[in-house]
Amino acid sequence: MKSSITASTIPKLLIVEDDVIFANTLNRRLTKHGFDCVQVDNNNDALLSCHRHSPDYILLDMKLAQENTLSIIKPLRQLRPQSRIILLTGFASIATAVDAIKLGADDYLSKPVDSQTLLATLKGNKVAPIADNNQNEKILSAEQVEWQHIQQVLKANQGNISATARQLSMHRRTLQRKLQKRPQSA
C-alpha cells in the first residue's frame, strides 16, 4: 500500500549547523514531525543546498566555526523568497535579533530551544512562555534574566565553565562569582 503523502507535499527544511550532534538531533526531531531535512555546516554549502533543494524552511545557526550566517540571510532570501528563515543562536542579543530581521530572517530563537517552540516558530506561530501555575507570571529583574541566560548557556555547554565564560565574553572567575550569587525571586 502506497503512502498518500507525495514528495512534493513534504515540507523541505535546510539545517545550517556546525555542531554535528545538535544538527543530527534537530534532523531526527524534525523528520519525526514530517520534515524532509538536509543539513550542512558552512555558508557555501548552505547557499548551494538552498539552490539545489529549494527548502520551504531554513534553520540557521548564527555562528559557524569561523563564519557568521547573518551574511547569507539576504542571498538565501533572494534564492527562496517564500521560505521561512529562522536564526538559532546561543549568542542571543537584541542587536543581532534586529539585524537578522532587517536582513530578511522571519524569526530568531535562542538555544537551547524546545520542540514545541521550534515547530511553532517554523509554522509562523508565536508561542507564549509556559506560565507557572504557582506564580502569577511575575516580572523578572535584570539579575534574574541574566541568571537564566547564564544557566541556558551553561546547559548548552554541558556544564563547562570555561566554554560558557568564553561564549558569554566574560572571565571564568567572574562567571563563577555570578553562579554563586543566585538572585532572589521577586
Give SS3 for 118.
helix
The answer to whether 91 and 109 are in contact (CB under 8 A) is no
Q: Where in the chain is the domain with CATH 3.40.50.2300?
A: 7-122
Cell of 55: 527548502
Confidence class for position 89, pLDDT limits 50, 70, 90: confident
- Rounded to whole angstroms, the Cα distance separating 7 from 65 reads 33
Q: Where in the chain is the domain with CATH 1.10.10.60?
A: 131-186
| Position 103 pLDDT exceeds 70 | yes
Q: Which CATH architecture has domain 131-186?
A: Orthogonal Bundle (1.10)
Residue 140: its pLDDT value, please? 55
Q: Which CATH architecture has domain 7-122?
A: 3-Layer(aba) Sandwich (3.40)
More confident residue, 152 or 131: 152
| Position 158 pLDDT exceeds 90 | no
Residue 182: its pLDDT value, please? 74
- Per the prediction, the chain carries an average pLDDT of 81
137 Cβ contact partners less than 8 Å away, ≥ 6 residues apart? 131
| Position 14 pLDDT exceeds 50 | yes
Mean pLDDT of 69-93: 89
**What are the angstrom distances between the C-alpha of 9 and each of 32, 55, 57, 146, 154?**
15, 12, 13, 42, 39
Conformational region of residue 26, where left means phi above 0, alpha means psi within -120 to 50, and beta covers everything else: alpha
Confidence class for position 135, pLDDT limits 50, 70, 90: very low
Residue 8: its pLDDT value, please? 58
Confidence class for position 141, pLDDT limits 50, 70, 90: low
Residue 125: its pLDDT value, please? 74
- Rounded to whole angstroms, the Cα distance separating 77 from 104 reads 6
| Position 2 pLDDT exceeds 70 | no
| Nearest of 106, 118, 56, 52 to residue 83 by alpha carbon | 56
